[in-house]
Amino acid sequence: MPEHRSGSGTTRRSHLAAAGSLLAALALLLALPGAAGAADVPQRGTARLGQGVIAHDGQQGGGPTGPAAVQTEGVDVSGHQGNVAWQTLWNSGVKWAYVKATEGTYYKNTYFTQQYNGSYNVGMIRGTYHFATPDTTSGAAQANYFVDNGGGWSRDGRTLPGVLDIEWNPYGAQCYGKTQAAMVSWIRDFANTYKARTGRDPVIYTATSWWKDCTGNNASFGATNPLWVARYNTTVGELPAGWGFYTMWQYTSSGPTVGDHNHFNGALDRVQALANG
């Protein structure tokens, strides 16, 4: 009998240990999605135009179909592309380009010189863009950082006005933790500071769905700021409130040579007109 009781106790302890192991395994499985989500957050500085478009708006082909007004092909690049084959792009019909200059007040594109000067040297009209992070510093601080690090403008006929890239936050909350009113104020702070520094209203790059969610579809920028809209589809679709037409349309992230391709809403002389202000 003593031996039997001892065996029964051992068996009971084994069952308890097994149950504990099972609970621990379940806890680990429940924790894994959160851990994977944290691991999926990209490194600061790596964000680029349209990074969230496919994930949030999808991608259904690219480029308009059927009769359309004249469109002038362009590309946008960042450090993600590294050294760009500008001559190849020029030979393919690309006539204008935007190059990422800065992000927040903490990042400058390490490939900026090759990309900005390289596009110019093959004959393109080019400009620069800033990836906004409204949760890190003020709109004015980021506009000044942008202008001081490649985001300026000159009336040389080959330099496009700077772009504010305001879209999904790749590092956290979609609207950067801001209310719609606070987001509109942040954008206005950036735009006013950029114009005070350069004499030009910045182009606003965004996607309609993001603009609706994070600004409440604010209509107050359409009269002053050219629109660069992101929509990876065969038609541009609905525009954000306040804009009756787009100036540029990023229609795909899977184009030849460089992924991000765009249409300028007009012939080359319209691109030149935007450069000249």
The catalytic residues are 76, 165, 167
Do 206 and 169 contact (CB within 8 A), yes or no? no
Do 258 and 89 contact (CB within 8 A), yes or no? yes
Distance from C-alpha of 222 to C-alpha of 170, rounded to nearest angstrom:
26
Distance from C-alpha of 81 to C-alpha of 97, rounded to nearest angstrom:
13
By C-alpha distance, which of 154, 150, 141 is closest to 111? 150
Question: Which residues does 6 contact at the CB level (< 8 Å), separation at least 6?
Answer: none
Do 167 and 201 contact (CB within 8 A), yes or no? no
Eight-class DSSP state of 203: E
**Block residue for tokens 């990074």:** 51
Do 138 and 186 contact (CB within 8 A), yes or no? yes
Eight-class DSSP state of 100: E
Q: Nearest 5°: phi and psi at 252?
A: -160, 155
Distance from C-alpha of 168 to C-alpha of 53, rounded to nearest angstrom:
8
